[in-house]
Amino acid sequence: MTRSRAFLNLAVMLAAGVAAVPAWAAPGDPGRDKVVAAIHANHDATVERLRDWIKLPTIANMNINHREGAEYMRKLALDAGFQQARVVDSGGVPGVFATLDAGAKQTVAVYFMYDVKHYEPSEWTSPPLEGRIVDRPGEGKVMIGRGAVNQKGPETAFLAALHAFKAAGVKLPVNLVLVAEGEEEIGSPNFHNVVTQPDVRAALEKSVGVFIPSPNQAIDGNVSLLLGAKGVIEVQLVSSGEKWGRGPNKDIHSSLKANVDSPVWHLIKALNTLVAEDGQTPAIDGWFENVKPLTARQKELIAADVAASNEADDMKSLGIKHWYKNEDYLTASYRLASQPTVNIEGLVSGYTGPGGKTVLPGKAEAKLDLRLVPDMTKEEAVSKLKAHLAKRGFGDIEVIVSGGYSPTQTNENSALIKAEQATLAAAKIPMTMSARSAGSWPGVVFTGPPLNMAAGQFGAGRGGGAHAPDEWLLIDSTNPKTAGFDDQAVLYADFLYEVARAGR
């Protein structure tokens, strides 16, 4: 960090009435002060590292940079101090496995995803692969770029902590295992083939748990620790005259609709059977058969999370004015955590350009995602979807599963979660615990058999726009309650010290 930058940072904090050293710079672990100093000194290099990573997007569903992304991930791991890192064939987009042996008593695993969602540059205010730094009112300076928050930004913050240990000549307090994949954005269809390889599994089994770096801080500074996440299945339903045996096998003139069946209406009729009349409640046969109700403790955690949240801010960020059925915030939050869903992501058929075109399409496709809660499984859900359609005369509709996994859950008393709590408490960062995220990540690969590990998401800092235009990550915070990029890295360093302390 240059002298002018250090002076500017100090001036900004003093002007805001904030101590020059953030609250989370308190613990006195061996070598920590040197590590924190190195994090700040390396700020510009860390920002540039994230910017360079953003420039190389791996997009699984478009076959973009599969091998290049894996090799780049491998290089990032080696540069951060992992002694060995290799690309692992998965049967799809490759994964990466790396280990760092610090000779410590305790080992913790970290999960990375190096793939991103696709993007439409015309929808962005700055180029999505540029990594431009811009002002965000009320927040500070943020980086705009695809992958900035999901998930390259927080992962780069974790790597920054490792670089700082190395630069400061301070030994890591724990051993590390890294597993990374390039298919998370399409439902991790092959990631299990990475973690079940003998050497990968053996390394993971030595760990107290696995976490994914995540900027989970609200604008008021609160961090919500996730104890679980819904599962997800991404699926395409395809109706065609060719498979149906009715309707055209290609687009024909719409005047023929009077005496020719429509594959598009066939698909719409099928879709309509998947939900009840409210357009919300799943109606697939047996869909709720294995849905496990929320426990009293989970309801307690959700209520505490709601009490610490701002309903108006949540609605504003979502662009909504009402929850489903006009439910109150707490009831809607219970529903969010407990209910499986059937969602239409997109419908594609026929002509979609300017004006009209009088065709009767020969094919129609719907893209769906199905969110699952314990004790549902991916395999069960797919089987029930197919059986439901077949029973109603829609067995000709192709069900193409592009990816997905079952839900995940971790005990709040696990050593991993306790270390996360202790780290935030020492940093004086307010926290709640979330019983279950409505979003999904492939944590079940770790929490399910054969590994049966604790797994969660952890971190501070802020970001937004995942999967959307102008995705952003907070770099320099002007809000004393939220962590900037450097402070995110400091928190990860403290977390490693906390995991080590748990094993003493």
Does a cis peptide bond (omega within 30 degrees of 0) precede residue 421?
Answer: no
Distance of alpha carbon 439 from alpha carbon 232, whole angstroms? 8
Distance of alpha carbon 280 from alpha carbon 267, whole angstroms? 18
pLDDT at 504: 52
Each of the 504 residues of the chain gets a pLDDT tens digit; together they read 333 333 333 333 333 333 333 333 335 678 999 999 999 999 999 999 999 999 999 999 999 999 999 999 999 999 999 999 999 999 999 999 999 999 999 999 999 999 999 999 999 999 999 999 999 999 999 999 999 999 999 999 999 999 999 999 999 999 999 999 999 999 999 999 999 999 999 999 999 999 999 998 999 999 999 999 999 999 999 999 999 999 999 999 999 999 999 999 999 999 999 999 999 999 999 999 999 999 999 999 999 999 988 899 889 988 999 999 999 999 999 999 999 999 999 999 999 999 999 999 999 999 999 999 999 999 999 999 999 999 999 999 999 999 999 999 999 999 999 999 999 999 999 999 989 999 999 999 999 999 999 999 999 999 999 999 999 999 999 999 999 999 999 999 999 999 999 855
Other CB atoms within 10 A of residue 238 CB: 17
Distance of alpha carbon 286 from alpha carbon 340, whole angstroms? 12
Residue 197 structure tokens? 């390889």
Residue partners of 325: CB distance under 8 A and separation at least 6: none
Distance of alpha carbon 489 from alpha carbon 461, whole angstroms? 10
Residue partners of 122: CB distance under 8 A and separation at least 6: none
Distance of alpha carbon 112 from alpha carbon 85, whole angstroms? 13
Q: Strand, coil or helix: what is 367?
A: strand
Residue 391 structure tokens? 């029973």
Distance of alpha carbon 92 from alpha carbon 50, whole angstroms? 25
pLDDT at 28: 61
Distance of alpha carbon 214 from alpha carbon 151, whole angstroms? 7
Distance of alpha carbon 148 from alpha carbon 472, whole angstroms? 5
Other CB atoms within 10 A of residue 259 CB: 6
* 84 bridge partner residues: 99
pLDDT at 6: 35
Domain 231-291+340-405 in the same topology as domain 3-229+408-502: no
How is the chain split into domains, by residue range? 3-229+408-502, 231-291+340-405
Q: Does domain 231-291+340-405 have CATH number 3.30.365.10?
A: no
CATH class of this structure's domain 3-229+408-502: alpha beta
Residue partners of 458: CB distance under 8 A and separation at least 6: 211, 212, 213, 214, 216, 225, 420, 423, 495
Q: Taken in order 219, 220, 226, 230, is the CA torsion positive or negative?
A: negative
Strands 175-181 and 107-113: parallel
Nearest to residue 144, comparing CAs of 123, 158, 130? 130
pLDDT at 503: 59
Between the CA of residue 381 and those of 371, 374, 376, 404, what are the distances in Å?
10, 12, 7, 11
The DSSP code for 62 is G
Distance of alpha carbon 447 from alpha carbon 308, whole angstroms? 28
What is the helix (H) or strand (E) element at residue 98, kind and residue range?
strand 95-100
Residue 147 structure tokens? 């992958």
Nearest to residue 121, comparing CAs of 112, 111, 132? 132
Nearest to residue 159, comparing CAs of 477, 459, 444, 500? 459
Residue 435 buriedness (CB in 10 A; 0-12 / 13-18 / 19+): buried
**HSE of 18 in the Cβ direction (CA atoms, 13 Å)?**
18
Distance of alpha carbon 46 from alpha carbon 370, whole angstroms? 37
* 327 bridge partner residues: none
Number of H helices, E strands in the chain: 16, 20
Note the maximum CA span of the chain. 81
Nearest to residue 493, comparing CAs of 430, 415, 423, 428? 423
